[in-house]
């Protein structure tokens, strides 16, 4: 059996799950820890529901088994609920305290669960809610919400926060480096506060 620490990053196509998983990958390279992962490309990128599997210490395949993930980073609250069955009992969830209403709700007149109902659906887990938009705005641009969330999850990783921070340096476009480092720091602070 694999002894990997399995992280599921979920969200909406375009929110930056791929960059988040790349940063974790770089951090593993820095710590010389094996890593495997897999993510959604193609069709699902167009605003669809996306999932990225990351297996820190993983030596076998890239897929996380339902019921096997140790940690979830959810860039959207509704997506956290959609993928909660991937988590181990009582596992940790770092979720954005915000959800984008899917177009299907308007087009097909479907019911959209409210924020409190979504939070209640995650009651069995160790949930930390983060206002990613607020912190990203504080860092300087809404676009860095993914890095805010990664920062908030940093205390829950079996990796040194410094490795993750160095990985941010190596993974983001140079001219956005300061912005991303601020986002990571603000997220980390928020994650620690909730510990």
- Other Cβ atoms within 10 Å of 143 Cβ, number: 15
Among residues 15, 17, 40, 96, which is the contact residue for other proteins, using CB under 8 A?
A: 40
CA 187 to CA 153: how far, in whole Å?
A: 8
Q: Smallest distance from the beta carbon of 193 to other proteins, in angstroms? A: 27
User: Which token pair is 139?
Assistant: 């860092």
Q: Which of residues 116-145 bind other proteins (CB under 8 A)?
A: 121, 124, 142
Is residue 68 within the footprint of other proteins (CB under 8 A)? yes
CA 39 to CA 118: how far, in whole Å?
A: 24
Q: Which of residues 92-111 bind other proteins (CB under 8 A)?
A: 100-107, 110-111
Tally of residues, the chain:
195
C-alpha atoms less than 13 angstroms from C-alpha of 90 in its C-beta half-sphere: 0
Is residue 66 within the footprint of other proteins (CB under 8 A)? yes
Contacts to other proteins by CB under 8 A: 1-2, 12-13, 21-22, 25-26, 28-29, 34-49, 58, 60-63, 65-68, 78-79, 81-82, 84-89, 100-107, 110-113, 121, 124, 142
């Amino acid at each position: 059996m694999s002894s990997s620490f399995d992280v599921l990053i979920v969200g909406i196509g375009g929110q930056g799950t791929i960059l988040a998983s790349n940063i974790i990958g770089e951090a593993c390279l820095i710590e010389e820890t094996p890593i495997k992962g897999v993510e959604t490309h193609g069709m699902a990128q167009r605003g669809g529901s996306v999932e990225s599997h990351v297996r820190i210490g993983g030596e076998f395949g890239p897929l996380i088994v339902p019921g096997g993930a140790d940690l979830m980073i959810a860039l959207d609250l509704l997506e956290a609920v959609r993928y909660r069955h991937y988590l181990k009992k009582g596992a940790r969830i770092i979720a954005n305290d915000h959800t984008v209403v899917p177009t299907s709700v308007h087009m097909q007149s479907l019911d959209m669960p409210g924020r409190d109902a979504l939070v209640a659906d995650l009651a069995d887990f160790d949930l930390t809610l983060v206002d990613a938009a607020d912190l990203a705005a504080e860092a300087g641009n809404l676009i860095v919400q993914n890095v805010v969330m990664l920062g908030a999850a940093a205390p829950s990783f079996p990796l040194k926060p410094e490795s993750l921070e160095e990985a941010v340096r190596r993974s983001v476009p140079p001219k956005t480096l300061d912005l991303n480092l601020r986002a990571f720091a603000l997220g980390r602070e928020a994650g620690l506060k909730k510990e």
